[in-house]
Amino acid sequence: MSLIEKAVERLEGLPKQPDRAGAGAHSSSLLVPGVEAGIDSNMAHSGSSGSESRRIDIDLVRLRAAGFITPDTPGSLTAEEFRVLKRPLLANVMGPAAPIRNANLIMVTSALPGEGKSFTAVNLAMSIAMELDRTVLLVDADVARPSLPRVLGLPEQKGLMDVLQDKSLKLSDVLLRSNIDKLTILTAGTQDAHATELLASEVMGRLLNEMARRYPDRVIIFDSPPLLMTTEARVLATRLGQIVFVVRAEQTPQSAVKEALATIETCPVKLMVLNQTRNVEHVAYGYEYGYGY
Ligand SMILES: Nc1ncnc2c1ncn2[C@@H]1O[C@H](COP(=O)(O)OP(=O)(O)O)[C@@H](O)[C@H]1O
Ligand SMILES: [Mg+2]
């Protein structure tokens, strides 16, 4: 039995406890900010063109109040949990022992909407951006239901959908730099009726290869659509190197978890996150890690 199957079984055995208010909002002591100052010029530029990305200010006070990791709360429980989650993912990005294709492209997905994909993607991006030697690109790939503008307070602007449709637009033209030096953001962009189809397109495949090649040492996190709502998310899964599969504890039916996991069966690296477990004493996140089956 694979680790993931065991994790699915464990879901069944979780104790039922009353709902926990403010789950995840564990800001604790204020420690030294973990973000190194400096400009990440490679991510901001497309190489030869030298065009500047726009810069936005994320409201870190608001983000922290909503339970997210921010650079000034590196000691919070949520920060600790994401430290555990990011380690195996980062080890694979540079793992010389078992090279994984596009290991720096990480998909955050789940079976259904509302399970905490965006919560996980943003926190994972924050956590990795706090590493001394890592830069992160956070991509809003849940194009039918983008949540990064709301969560991070982003302006409406061109993004992924626009790059996929407008050949004259370069990735570097739409990247948003942020007040977290190592965090760059790509919004979903202009809403499009064929948004999810575009995610599975050949042009998206080429863009992903370009991203993986151009920024091999950058971690690129895709806040992705749920696997059971569209087939495009499954195509995306086959193209990204690592998958973080989020399960909302005590809410997602076990059958949905199994069905969704079956759709990503062939993806080599999957890491399962059990979100919003009710055991306040311990962790809001549990995880299992598996290499294939
Ligand atoms: N561990 C958590 N602690 C606190 N709030 C959470 C947690 N996980 C999810 N949420 C909140 O639950 C809601 C749904 O999560 P979200 O990440 O938007 O789901 P999805 O992206 O899968 O649709 C959001 O308001 C999010 O902030
Ligand atoms: Mg979301």
Burial of residue 253 (CB within 10 Å: 0-12, 13-18, 19+) is exposed
Give the residues of the chain that fall short of pLDDT 50. 14-50, 280-284, 288-293
User: What range defines the domain where residue 171 resides?
Assistant: 3-14+23-291
Test site for ligand 1: of 68, 118, 278, most ligand atoms within 8 A of the Cβ:
118
Query: Residue 106: enclosing H or E segment and its boundaries?
Result: strand 105-110
What is the Cα–Cα distance from 54 to 56, expressed in whole angstroms? 7
Going by alpha carbons, the residue nearest to atom 3 of ligand 1 is 24
Cβ(110)–Cβ(226) under 8 Å?
yes
40-94, pLDDT tens digit by residue? 233 333 333 445 578 999 999 999 999 999 999 888 999 999 999 999 999 999 7
Test site for ligand 1: of 69, 119, 123, 278, most ligand atoms within 8 A of the Cβ:
119
Per-residue pLDDT at 278:
60
Per-residue pLDDT at 6:
56
The CATH number linked to 143 is 3.40.50.300
Q: Which residue has the tokens 């204020």?
A: 30
Per-residue pLDDT at 46:
36
Going by alpha carbons, the residue nearest to atom 14 of ligand 1 is 114
Cβ(161)–Cβ(198) under 8 Å?
yes
Cβ(273)–Cβ(86) under 8 Å?
no
237: nearest Cα among 144, 129, 109: 109
Number of structural domains the chain divides into: 1
Cβ(288)–Cβ(4) under 8 Å?
yes
What is the Cα–Cα distance from 62 to 56, expressed in whole angstroms? 15
- The pTM assigned to this predicted structure is 0.82
Going by alpha carbons, the residue nearest to atom 11 of ligand 1 is 116
